[in-house]
Amino acid sequence: MASIKYNPNGQKGKITYSADIVSGIVVLSLQETEGIELVPSKNKGIKLYFEKEGIFVDISVIAHYGYKVPDLAFRIQQNIKQMVESMTKYKIAKVDVHVTSVVFPERKAEPQEAAPAPAGEQPQA
């Protein structure tokens, strides 16, 4: 588990953020984004890379039918950037969004009508 150290304004002491905390903030920001769900996997479709330039985020999501993919990706990027930077004081260098599939709404089963009886036969009651 990686630890990231942040020393604001040269103060004595340090604040340590683990990668799990940053990952949790990313998950929270995705839960607040309407029209998507996370790709089910052991790492929840989230990869974080901590570099000097900032945090690089790689996200895989599933889009819901009816939402515009470019708009979803932009909202995901903005939500992650805003939440991580406001909660940790770290900078987000880049957010790559991968839409792996689209979930379509379930079709409602329509009642089946009785097939008409062939000509010359009476329907049985």
* Rg of the chain in Å (alpha carbons): 24
From the list 31, 19, 12, the residue with the least C-alpha distance to 90 is: 19
Domains of the chain: 3-103 (3.30.70.1350)
Average pLDDT over residues 16-45: 87
**pTM more than 0.95:** no
Contact 106, 48 (CB under 8 A): no
For the stretch 65-95, pLDDT in tens is: 999 999 999 999 999 999 999 998 889 999 9
H or E stretch covering 92: strand 92-103
| Residues 62 and 36: beta-carbon distance below 8 Å | yes
| Burial zone of 6 (CB within 10 Å; 0-12 exposed, 13-18 middle, 19+ buried) | exposed
